[in-house]
Amino acid sequence: MTIKRLSLILIGVLCVVAGALLWLLRTPSSTFDGANADQPPVSAELIRRGEYVARLSDCVACHSTPDSAPFSGGLAMATPVGKIYTTNITPDPETGIGNYSLADFDRAVRHGVARDGHRLYPAMPFPSYQKLTDEDVAALYAFMMHDVKPVSRQNRASEIPWPLNMRWPLAVWSAAFSRGGPQQPVANQDAVWNRGAYLVEGPGHCGSCHTPRGLAFNEKALDASSPDYLAGALLDGWYAPSLRNDANTGISRWSEADVVEFLKNGRNQHAVVFGSMADAFNNSTQFMRDDDLRAIAHYLKSLPPGSNNSGKGWQYQHDDAPATPGSQTYMARCSSCHGPDGRGQAPWIPPLAGATSMQVDTASSINVLLNGSARVVADGVPDAYRMPPYRKQLTDQEAADVLNFIRSSWGNQGEKTDAQAVGELRAKTDPASSNVIILQMR
């Protein structure tokens, strides 16, 4: 092969690569491009619908901090390569989204592209939000622009170092892992199932926490067609358990009524919300309509066991184990609330016998033991029963011993932990992070 021929081939390859990159880096189109005349008129009804979509999507929890105005951003989010900070999405024209058109807003929410063209980090769950209907996007825009108070607050730059902070590779990431569009009904499922699928896979973005991630930090699946979807995942010091009917690590023992009660009240006979789920409850799920909660429960209970399914189905076992340092710590510090038999006092104090957190990865159980549980605020009333932090009372070894006792008692089948794992999580977590509060959107 001649040098001239090789040069022509190389030029051709470079042209193809350049063309592909230009195509990927283009500004994505929006349903609302050039459609100003077709946009619905802003009305009180449209704004209220948008407020509900904001609750379904839990926008306020990520784009707010306890000491700032709602939607004004500033929340630190840990990533494997450095912290990023959520942005101001109030309608302030200088520091927020006040100059966004509906098409600009749509591109940010469903495509992960800001008004100036830069790509958003996928901590913004646009791979899920792409499933939002046009009607819900338009309503959300009306609420954000006409009912949220503008706040002047400059956005904070990420702490991701160069060159990892370059945004253009995110266009390639989006093309690979964020394909699709508005949710389409599944023909062989009923209306309730389809509504539940829309809420879970779309605005609820449940997979952002509960679906395992790939090597590119992508969710391995975005819908129920894959056994990876909602199969459980470790994220930022918490293990979000499977939401599928896994025998030992999911919700196989929960009824649809149990799921509804958990999302509506933050607790049921099996568990109480903790970690990031407390945030989701405080700011989102308790505000959902009952029919939507039933649809979510119906959808989740239809899912078969997933890719992380392991162990036999839990059954209570009475233990006569010999006294150990872990059992002695449990009886001294834990049994007055959770009971010497581990059954708790449901629904106020959850059982540890059979608890999903005691069957899966150790992160959540270590985190709760060290830092306590988050404040659960139902109907504006803070709960009276809260797990206290034992960060100062227990050494790393004592914490490991008591967790190993709990995770192997009463039929629990959790793997053991050790003092090193406790120490590592102690260094990475902050007891103040468990003090979740509810944020008023208006």
The string of DSSP letters for 323-381 reads P-HHHHHHHHHTHHHH-TTS--BTTTB--STT-GGGTS-SHHHHHHHHH-PPPPEETTE
In the predicted model, what is the mean pLDDT of residues 395-413? Answer: 96
SS3 249: coil
CA distance 295 to 198: 9
Please give the share of the chain, as a percent, with pLDDT higher than 90: 71
Same domain, 282 and 358: yes
Same domain, 133 and 260: no
Is 247 inside a domain boundary? yes
Q: Which amino acid is at 401?
A: D
CA distance 289 to 287: 7
Please report which confidence band the pLDDT of residue 189 belongs to, taking 50, 70 and 90 as the band edges.
very high
* Each residue's pLDDT tens digit, 329-371: 999 999 999 999 999 999 999 999 999 999 999 999 999 999 9
Same domain, 199 and 289: yes
CA distance 359 to 348: 21
Please report which confidence band the pLDDT of residue 435 belongs to, taking 50, 70 and 90 as the band edges.
very low
Same domain, 221 and 112: no
If 0-12 CB within 10 Å is exposed, 13-18 middle and 19+ buried, where does residue 13 land?
Answer: exposed
74: CB partners within 8 A, 6+ apart? 64, 65, 68, 85, 86, 88, 153, 156
Contact yes or no for 203/129 (Cβ under 8 A): yes
Same domain, 205 and 106: no
Beta strands in 78-198 (DSSP E): 84-85
Same domain, 203 and 141: no
Is 158 inside a domain boundary? no
**Beta partners for residue 84, in sequence order:** 77
Is 183 inside a domain boundary? no
Is 259 inside a domain boundary? yes
* Each residue's pLDDT tens digit, 208-221: 999 999 999 999 99
Q: 């139902």: which residue's tokens? A: 378
Same domain, 267 and 357: yes
Question: What is the domain-level CATH number for residue 279?
Answer: 1.10.760.10
Q: Determine the pLDDT at residue 322.
A: 75
If 0-12 CB within 10 Å is exposed, 13-18 middle and 19+ buried, where does residue 360 land?
Answer: buried
Is 180 inside a domain boundary? no
The gap from C-alpha 376 to its chain's centroid, in whole angstroms, comes to 17
- The CA angle 125-131-133, to the nearest 5 degrees, is 125
Boundary residue ending a domain (93, 123, 150): 150
Is 165 inside a domain boundary? no
Helix 256-265 and helix 290-300, axial crossing angle in degrees, nearest 10: 130
Contact yes or no for 324/402 (Cβ under 8 A): no
Same domain, 378 and 322: yes
Same domain, 261 and 394: yes
SS3 46: helix
Is 186 inside a domain boundary? no
Residue from 379, 373, 357, 380 nearest 431 by CA: 373
Same domain, 251 and 124: no
Q: Is the pLDDT of residue 204 over 50?
A: yes
pLDDT averaged over the chain?
A: 89
If 0-12 CB within 10 Å is exposed, 13-18 middle and 19+ buried, where does residue 253 land?
Answer: middle
Q: Give the residue numbers spanning the domain of 284.
A: 191-434
Domain count, the chain: 2
Boundary residue ending a domain (96, 121, 150): 150
What predicted TM-score, i.e. pTM, was given to this entire model? Answer: 0.91
Residue from 139, 144, 43, 58 nearest 96 by CA: 144
When mean pLDDT is compared across 11-25, 106-120, 149-163, the lowest value belongs to 11-25
Is 44 inside a domain boundary? yes
Q: Determine the pLDDT at residue 16.
A: 45
Beta strands in 209-336 (DSSP E): 233-235, 238-240
Q: Is the pLDDT of residue 81 over 90?
A: no
Q: Determine the pLDDT at residue 18.
A: 46
CA distance 275 to 373: 7
Count of other CB atoms within 10 angstroms of residue 11: 10
Same domain, 142 and 234: no
SS3 219: strand
Same domain, 257 and 337: yes
Q: Determine the pLDDT at residue 439.
A: 56
What DSSP state is assigned to residue 165? T
285: CB partners within 8 A, 6+ apart? 263, 264, 293
In the predicted model, what is the mean pLDDT of residues 370-395? Answer: 89
Tokens of 143: 């609420």
When mean pLDDT is compared across 25-29, 171-175, 294-298, the lowest value belongs to 25-29
Q: Is the pLDDT of residue 23 over 80?
A: no
Boundary residue ending a domain (91, 122, 150): 150
Tokens of 258: 């149990």
Q: Is the pLDDT of residue 320 over 80?
A: no
* Each residue's pLDDT tens digit, 92-128: 999 999 999 999 999 999 999 999 999 999 999 999 9
Q: List the binding residues for heme c.
A: 59, 62-63, 206, 209-210, 334, 337-338
5: CB partners within 8 A, 6+ apart? none
Question: What is the domain-level CATH number for residue 125?
Answer: 1.10.760
319: CB partners within 8 A, 6+ apart? 409, 410
In the predicted model, what is the mean pLDDT of residues 267-295? Answer: 95
Q: List the binding residues.
A: 59, 62-63, 206, 209-210, 334, 337-338
CA distance 197 to 294: 12
SS3 59: helix
